[in-house]
């Protein structure tokens, strides 16, 4: 099985779960399939044996990856911060959308000018102000690199690579599989209909099969993009097994941790409301907010206005090791997302032995059965759960132990197996259709 994989984020460059997921997928899938991965920028630190990684920033020097293997943890210190206002997981500003995607069509001539390519893909921002130009160029270059037809399936990760996926499918006739880690309707709200939505929908109509990171996401695709559920396979994300030590902190209060971008999608309103309710019944608590985003100022100001300033600690954007440090001393992990396709950080919390209170509108709640879940808006229920975890140690211990034990079944190998089955299914369907 030969897979042409179209990715965007890859270690050490990522802003959210997509980079972590792409790396995890490639690392496990390479044992089952021959992968050629095209990403915008490759520094060499995410190299894996047997995987042909082509970074467009090094378009003149493509070749086999080095024989070194590195785990995600080894790469952690090299995480570069991506400006959040331009992340694909952030609802794209209207200002950017005004620039139609096609305005940035790049002629083949231009794409052959390696100087421009290198400039575009060498900056430290995987998204950045030139995001649409980058996508257009990525599409063009990926299509050229795919001309050899030396692959059986095309596997494209999220909307930024979907244009390339559609183009290569049309060109090669090979089946296209979309891997949906996040949808525009997650980022911009259920009723969001814009060019990115249109692009996602077009790709979904064109694709032979769709991998969704959760049943939640599958349902969203069916509901908001009107896609036949038969064509969607759920492939939950995984986590590399690791033993994470617990540490202590100097505060006398217990710590409830929120990790993620402060955008509407992550439910900052519900974080505030819940914190207020918890503090009323359990005053010795601090909510640690790690992450930033367009709602940051609002959360900060509201907490001050509600005289809750002393209940919050704003930690800003944390590096991988910062996240690990924080989780190692956390008492509760809280994820009140309005719409969370997966939420890999919940798995990380479980790995650290931290019990979770999760939004039901999340993929992570599907795989961590030992967690407490409520509808994203149900702040009474969230507060009751957080209170119980802070107050009843036996509950905290029982849930964290079970959640940790349950991770045995949530691995990238398991995900890779499902993807491999999905490839087979797609090829078989295609064969049958051709015969008829």
Partner 1 sequence: MPSVCFYFQVHQPFRLKHYDCFKIGHDHAYEDEAKNKEILDRVAEKCYLPANRLLLELIEQHRGKFKIAYSISGTALEQMEKYRPDVLHSFQDLARSGCVEFLSETYYHSLSFLYSKDEFIRQVGMHREKILTLFRQSPVVFRNTELIYNNEIANFISAMGFKGIICEGLDHVLGYRSPNFLYHPPMNKTFKSLLKNYKLSDDIAFRFSDKNWSEWPLTAPKFAHWVHQTAGNGDTINLFMDYETFGEHQWPETGIFDFLSHLPAEIFKHPDFDFKTPSEVIASYKARGEYDVHHLSSWADLERDLSAWLGNSLQHDAMERIYHLEKRIKDTNDPEMVDTWAKLLTSDHFYYMSTKYWNDGDVHKYFSHYNTPYDAYINFMNVVTDLEHVLEVRFGEGPEEPASREKPTIALSTPLQVQNSASSRRHPVL
If one counts every other C-beta atom within 10 angstroms of the C-beta of residue 58, the result is 19
Q: List the one residue out of 66, 18, 62, 16 whose CA is nearest residue 46.
A: 66
Spatial neighbors of 129 by CB under 8 A, at least 6 apart, are 86
CB of 332 to partner 1, least distance (A): 13
If one counts every other C-beta atom within 10 angstroms of the C-beta of residue 378, the result is 17
CB 300 within 8 A of CB 314: yes
CB of 403 to partner 1, least distance (A): 11
- Which CB atom, from 318 or from 354, has the smaller least distance to partner 1? 354
- Which CB atom, from 324 or from 373, has the smaller least distance to partner 1? 373
Spatial neighbors of 138 by CB under 8 A, at least 6 apart, are 8, 38, 40, 56, 160, 161, 163, 164
- Which CB atom, from 76 or from 370, has the smaller least distance to partner 1? 370
- Which CB atom, from 19 or from 336, has the smaller least distance to partner 1? 336
CB of 277 to partner 1, least distance (A): 7
Q: Which DSSP helix (H) or strand (E) runs through 205?
A: helix 195-206
CA 87 to the chain's CA centroid: 11
CB of 315 to partner 1, least distance (A): 25
- Which CB atom, from 66 or from 369, has the smaller least distance to partner 1? 369
Decide: residue 305, CB within 10 A, 0-12 exposed, 13-18 middle, 19+ buried. Answer: exposed
- Which CB atom, from 305 or from 392, has the smaller least distance to partner 1? 392
Spatial neighbors of 7 by CB under 8 A, at least 6 apart, are 22, 26, 37, 38, 39, 157, 161
CB of 165 to partner 1, least distance (A): 37
State both tokens at 267.
């439910």
CB of 278 to partner 1, least distance (A): 8
CB of 380 to partner 1, least distance (A): 6
Q: In what order do the strands lie in the sheet with 34-39?
A: 51-55, 34-39, 2-6, 153-157, 176-180, 209-212, 232-234
Q: Which residues bind partner 1 (CB under 8 A)?
A: 277, 280-284, 369, 372, 380-381, 383-385, 387-388, 391-392, 394-395, 397-399, 402
- Which CB atom, from 217 or from 274, has the smaller least distance to partner 1? 274
At how many degrees (to 10) do helices 412-435 and 17-29 cross? 70
- Which CB atom, from 105 or from 380, has the smaller least distance to partner 1? 380
CB of 348 to partner 1, least distance (A): 21
Q: List the one residue out of 172, 137, 154 whose CA is nearest residue 41.
A: 137
275/192 Cα distance (integer angstroms): 29
């Amino acid at each position: 099985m030969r897979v042409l994989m179209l990715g965007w984020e890859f270690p050490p460059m990522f802003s959210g779960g997509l980079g972590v997921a792409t790396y995890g997928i490639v690392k496990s899938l390479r044992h089952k399939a021959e992968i050629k991965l095209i990403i915008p920028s490759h520094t060499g630190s995410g190299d894996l044996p047997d995987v042909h990684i082509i970074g467009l920033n090094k378009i003149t020097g493509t070749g086999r990856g080095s024989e070194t293997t590195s785990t995600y943890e080894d790469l952690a210190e090299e995480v570069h911060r991506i400006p959040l206002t331009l992340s694909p997981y952030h609802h794209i500003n209207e200002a950017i959308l005004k620039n139609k995607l096609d305005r940035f069509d790049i002629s083949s001539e231009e794409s052959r000018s390696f100087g421009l390519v290198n400039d575009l893909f060498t900056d430290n921002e995987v998204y950045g102000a030139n995001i649409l130009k980058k996508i257009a160029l990525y599409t063009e270059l990926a299509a050229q690199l795919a001309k050899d037809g030396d692959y059986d399936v095309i596997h494209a990760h999220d909307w930024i690579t979907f244009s390339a996926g559609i183009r290569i499918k049309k060109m090669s006739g090979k089946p296209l599989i979309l891997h949906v880690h996040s949808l525009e309707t997650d980022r911009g709200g259920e009723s969001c209909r814009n060019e990115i939505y249109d692009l996602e929908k077009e790709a979904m109509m064109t694709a032979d099969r769709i991998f969704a990171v959760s049943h939640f996401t599958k349902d969203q695709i069916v509901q908001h993009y009107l896609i036949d559920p038969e064509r969607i396979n759920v492939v939950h994300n995984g986590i590399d097994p690791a033993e994470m030590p617990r540490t202590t902190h100097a505060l006398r209060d217990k710590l409830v941790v929120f990790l993620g971008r402060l955008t509407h999608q992550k439910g900052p309103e519900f974080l505030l409301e819940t914190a207020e309710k918890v503090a009323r019944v359990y005053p010795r608590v601090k909510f640690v907010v790690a992450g930033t985003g367009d709602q940051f100022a609002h959360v900060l100001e509201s907490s001050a206005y509600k005289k809750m300033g002393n209940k919050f600690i704003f930690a800003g954007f944390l590096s991988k090791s910062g996240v690990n440090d924080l989780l190692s001393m956390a008492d509760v992990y809280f994820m009140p997302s309005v719409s969370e396709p997966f939420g890999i950080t919940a798995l990380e919390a479980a790995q650290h032995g931290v019990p979770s209170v999760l939004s039901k509108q999340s993929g992570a709640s599907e795989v961590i059965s030992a967690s407490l879940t409520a509808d994203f808006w149900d702040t009474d229920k969230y507060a009751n759960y957080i209170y119980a975890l802070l107050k009843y140690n036996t509950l905290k211990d029982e849930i964290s132990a079970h959640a940790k034990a349950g991770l045995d079944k949530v691995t990238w190998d398991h995900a890779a197996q499902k993807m491999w089955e999905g490839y087979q299914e797609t090829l078989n369907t295609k064969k049958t259709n051709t015969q008829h």
